[in-house]
Chain A
Amino acid sequence: MSISDDGGALDYEQARRQAGAAGHSPPLCLVLSACVVAAIALAIYLVGRHAEPATQLQLSLILGVAFGFVLQRSRFCFFCIWKDWLDRRDPQGLLGIVAALAVGLVGYTLIYGAWLPDPSGTRLPPTAHIGPVGPALLLAGLAFGAGMAISGSCISAHLYRLGEGSPTSPFALIGAVGGFILGFLSWNPLYLGTISESPVLWLPRQLGYGGALLAGLFVLGGLAWWLLRAGRPAPATAAQHAATDPLAAIFLRRWPAWLGGLFVGLIGIAAYLRLSPLGVTAEIGSRSRQLAAHFELLPSRLEGLDSFRGCATAIRDALLTPNGLFIAGIVASAFAAALAAGEFKPKRPDGGHVLRGLIGGALLGWGTVIGLGCTVGTLLSGISAGAVSGWVFGIGLLVGTTLTLKLGRRLRLLA
């Protein structure tokens, strides 16, 4: 069984080689892509006209569309990036993540200065994803990492890969619903046993805004320096040397990871300034909770769950929610972008896809509930927010992914 199943979407090296040959996607795909773009534009217009509250919902959809486009074009998939490093010591993708975190950190600090001029009190900046730090968070990171290795990506990457026709992603997202429900079922004991006593640590409170920013940039800068020294950048392909046609550079060729990271950071800042921190699991979590509540699977109370910052899973009555539109935007624009670039390669799922998707997805979902978010909501939005929880979740994630991948390979279950 192998998980390199998506025509190179998972394998950076392969994708890079393919990018050299890019530039001629079939005309039918271009027409289809144009239709999807038109449908997205119409949806944005209609949401702005008829939805309530129009501004928030419309902006959520627009940011989702932008996020999906950036993820697809730069293949911003946390697992693929980490695998590139493990297998080939290719630092490009990791440098992209470092860029996203650095941009996010600067932007959040800029916003914080206006919203909460004094960080030293008892208050936290409103809605920022700053979660409790304890053993449960580490466990959540480990589980999420294992889920990434088994299903082939994290939740945000499954969303954009859904738009690329991935055979695993639909099952991973279904598995995630199951994982969410398992997470809700195990929440109360974990909350009472450890989470309720875990401190919510926010770096600017101890270090001040300047100190937290400098410390964060110092760590990220150190990481970048080390990646560049220890890494072995992949040899430049002919495509990278070829004279660049701007349209091809945007719509056909894969973006360099650092550019993707830059845009991911900027979209994160925009989302925090205008709506809420970036996250891709609130809607899936909330719908899973609704589903489980409907079948009376949930405990009558989930102690303290809704009082924490992070990707909230509280049940909402509305048909259209900001996060629902955000993830719909991701999938739709990734679909349009993949069509235009000739990267929409649907495949009939086999048993392996289904199994890996469901099992990996369940681990992703469980880790998301206990970690109060995923690679986007807890790692990206958390580290940008100066939260210790973002870093701890990230460490758990890397360990979980690496161990699961190595074990899976030894057992010849994962490629």
Chain B
Amino acid sequence: MSVISLLRRGALALAAGLAAGLLASTAAFAQSGPLVTTEWLEKNLSDPKVRIVEVSVEPGVYERGHIPGAQNVVWHTDLVETVSRDIASPEKFQALARKLGVDKDTTVVLYGDSNNWFAAWGAWVFDIYGLRDNVKLLDGGRKKWELEKRPVATNPVAVKASAFTVAEPNRKLRARLTDVVATVEKKSDARILDIRSPDEFSGKIIAPAGFQELALRAGHIPGSVNVAWARAVNQADGTIKPVEELKKLYAEAGIDGSKPVITTCRIGERSSHTWFILSRVLGYQVANYDGSWTEYGNVVGLPISNPAGTVWTGK
């Protein structure tokens, strides 16, 4: 063996060692931060202190193959009240969390389809009821897990129920119509961040194609700024962009964490995604407005901003 090849081998070994070290440190970082990587999750599947919860919107997705050990939460029945338009009541949430075996000392990893929209909604509801730092989102969600061809399972898992006690709902995380109106009337210094597509924001369209839940008017809340949710995401695998890029992206729209933020969209599900990024990843003070455009856009007597000039679907 020549000296050169020996040297090359040594260099390779060194590089491999460095890479392994780097990976190990990202895994550790992943666990302490609000996001976990697919790699970290696969390594920790059998950790009894980790509870994995899938919140997908497409029926049958969980059942036909989920991350091994994951439990299923149905967004539109488990996390909301089905009659009053509201998030799950404290009692309902407590029962759900107990059934999932979730408590303040368990690490909860949420993930789902549709770019984690509904998983992020889940994280927001968990946060409102006192489960914050131990609740994490799987970066890239179901999409990345599938892209990387990681294992899935179809069998159910039995978990031991917890004795979780629900906390008083944290009002600061949820914006109501009055909070939004106060901002419009400049009685509050919060900034409203609308994360819908530019066409929805400008009033060219009322809702994205295929969505039935509409408002009568098109446009946006006066004074709000627009950063479409998808701009915070790497399109290839659905992962959230690096912190510095995120800070820059939102700062360009005037959202820099110096003032409280209200995130809004059509029904509050896509905006939970941005809420998660601003609140949990960047640490800003953010409230999600789940009434969103289907509430604000329909209220009698409130001003809207409509650059496209559409009047109820007509011109």
Which residues of A line the B interface, CB within 8 A?
114-117, 122-123, 125-127, 273-276
B154 surroundings in chain A (CB, below 8 A)? 114-115, 273
The reply to whether A115 and B77 form a contact with Cβ atoms under 8 Å apart is no
Could you tell me the distance between the alpha carbons of A122 and B60 in the complex, rounded to whole angstroms?
A: 16
| Closest partner residue, chain B, to A277 (CB atom) | B60
| Closest partner residue, chain A, to B59 (CB atom) | A126
The reply to whether B156 and A126 form a contact with Cβ atoms under 8 Å apart is no
Shortest CB-to-CB span from B212 to chain A, Å, is 9
A117 surroundings in chain B (CB, below 8 A)? 156
Besides A114-B155, A122-B77, A125-B63, 18 other A-B contacts (C-beta < 8 A) = A114-B63, A114-B154, A114-B156, A115-B154, A115-B156, A116-B63, A117-B156, A123-B74, A123-B77, A126-B59, A126-B60, A126-B62, A126-B63, A273-B64, A273-B154, A274-B64, A275-B64, A276-B60
Q: 8 Å CB contacts to A: which residues of B174-206?
A: none
A125 surroundings in chain B (CB, below 8 A)? 63
CB pairs A–B below 8 angstroms (21 shown)? A114-B63, A114-B154, A114-B155, A114-B156, A115-B156, A116-B63, A117-B156, A122-B77, A123-B74, A123-B77, A125-B63, A126-B59, A126-B60, A126-B62, A126-B63, A127-B59, A127-B60, A273-B64, A273-B154, A274-B64, A275-B64
Could you tell me the distance between the alpha carbons of A276 and B156 in the complex, rounded to whole angstroms?
A: 19
Main secondary structure of the interface of A (DSSP, over half): loop
| Closest partner residue, chain B, to A116 (CB atom) | B63
Could you tell me the distance between the alpha carbons of A123 and B155 in the complex, rounded to whole angstroms?
A: 18
Shortest CB-to-CB span from B236 to chain A, Å, is 14
| Closest partner residue, chain A, to B82 (CB atom) | A122
A273 surroundings in chain B (CB, below 8 A)? 64, 154
Shortest CB-to-CB span from B95 to chain A, Å, is 13
B155 surroundings in chain A (CB, below 8 A)? 114
Interface size of B in residues (CB-CB distance below 8 Å): 10
Could you tell me the distance between the alpha carbons of A389 and B74 in the complex, rounded to whole angstroms?
A: 25
Shortest CB-to-CB span from A246 to chain B, Å, is 34
Could you tell me the distance between the alpha carbons of A114 and B60 in the complex, rounded to whole angstroms?
A: 12
Q: 8 Å CB contacts to A: which residues of B141-175?
A: 154-156
Could you tell me the distance between the alpha carbons of A139 and B63 in the complex, rounded to whole angstroms?
A: 34
| Closest partner residue, chain B, to A113 (CB atom) | B156
Shortest CB-to-CB span from B309 to chain A, Å, is 24
B60 surroundings in chain A (CB, below 8 A)? 126-127, 276
A115 surroundings in chain B (CB, below 8 A)? 63, 154, 156
Could you tell me the distance between the alpha carbons of A204 and B59 in the complex, rounded to whole angstroms?
A: 19
Give the one of B59, B62, B74 with max A CB within 10 A.
B59
B156 surroundings in chain A (CB, below 8 A)? 114-115, 117
B62 surroundings in chain A (CB, below 8 A)? 126
Could you tell me the distance between the alpha carbons of A276 and B58 in the complex, rounded to whole angstroms?
A: 12
Shortest CB-to-CB span from A209 to chain B, Å, is 14
| Closest partner residue, chain A, to B65 (CB atom) | A274
Shortest CB-to-CB span from A115 to chain B, Å, is 4
Could you tell me the distance between the alpha carbons of A275 and B60 in the complex, rounded to whole angstroms?
A: 9
| Closest partner residue, chain B, to A122 (CB atom) | B77
Interface string of B54-83 (1 = CB under 8 A from A): 000001101110000000001001000000
Shortest CB-to-CB span from B100 to chain A, Å, is 14
Shortest CB-to-CB span from B55 to chain A, Å, is 14
Could you tell me the distance between the alpha carbons of A273 and B77 in the complex, rounded to whole angstroms?
A: 23
A276 surroundings in chain B (CB, below 8 A)? 60
| Closest partner residue, chain B, to A125 (CB atom) | B63
Shortest CB-to-CB span from B262 to chain A, Å, is 32
| Closest partner residue, chain A, to B156 (CB atom) | A114
A123 surroundings in chain B (CB, below 8 A)? 74, 77
Shortest CB-to-CB span from B273 to chain A, Å, is 22
Give the one of B64, B77, B154, B156 with max A CB within 10 A.
B64
Could you tell me the distance between the alpha carbons of A275 and B59 in the complex, rounded to whole angstroms?
A: 12
Q: 8 Å CB contacts to A: which residues of B222-249?
A: none
Could you tell me the distance between the alpha carbons of A116 and B156 in the complex, rounded to whole angstroms?
A: 9
A126 surroundings in chain B (CB, below 8 A)? 59-60, 62-63
Shortest CB-to-CB span from A384 to chain B, Å, is 16
Shortest CB-to-CB span from B133 to chain A, Å, is 31
B59 surroundings in chain A (CB, below 8 A)? 126-127
Shortest CB-to-CB span from A402 to chain B, Å, is 36
| Closest partner residue, chain A, to B158 (CB atom) | A117
Shortest CB-to-CB span from B215 to chain A, Å, is 17
Shortest CB-to-CB span from B169 to chain A, Å, is 25
Shortest CB-to-CB span from A86 to chain B, Å, is 39
Shortest CB-to-CB span from B76 to chain A, Å, is 11
Could you tell me the distance between the alpha carbons of A115 and B62 in the complex, rounded to whole angstroms?
A: 9
Could you tell me the distance between the alpha carbons of A116 and B155 in the complex, rounded to whole angstroms?
A: 11
Shortest CB-to-CB span from B214 to chain A, Å, is 12
Shortest CB-to-CB span from A322 to chain B, Å, is 12
Could you tell me the distance between the alpha carbons of A126 and B63 in the complex, rounded to whole angstroms?
A: 8
B77 surroundings in chain A (CB, below 8 A)? 122-123
Cβ-closest 9 pairs across A and B: A126-B60, A127-B60, A115-B63, A126-B59, A126-B63, A114-B156, A114-B155, A127-B59, A117-B156
Could you tell me the distance between the alpha carbons of A240 and B63 in the complex, rounded to whole angstroms?
A: 44
Could you tell me the distance between the alpha carbons of A127 and B64 in the complex, rounded to whole angstroms?
A: 11
Shortest CB-to-CB span from A42 to chain B, Å, is 24
Could you tell me the distance between the alpha carbons of A192 and B154 in the complex, rounded to whole angstroms?
A: 38
Could you tell me the distance between the alpha carbons of A265 and B154 in the complex, rounded to whole angstroms?
A: 21
Interface string of B24-68 (1 = CB under 8 A from A): 000000000000000000000000000000000001101110000
B63 surroundings in chain A (CB, below 8 A)? 114-116, 125-126
Give the one of A116, A123, A126, A127 with max B CB within 10 A.
A126
Could you tell me the distance between the alpha carbons of A275 and B61 in the complex, rounded to whole angstroms?
A: 9
Could you tell me the distance between the alpha carbons of A116 and B64 in the complex, rounded to whole angstroms?
A: 12
A127 surroundings in chain B (CB, below 8 A)? 59-60
Shortest CB-to-CB span from A121 to chain B, Å, is 10
Shortest CB-to-CB span from B213 to chain A, Å, is 13
Could you tell me the distance between the alpha carbons of A114 and B155 in the complex, rounded to whole angstroms?
A: 6
Shortest CB-to-CB span from A100 to chain B, Å, is 22
Could you tell me the distance between the alpha carbons of A115 and B154 in the complex, rounded to whole angstroms?
A: 8
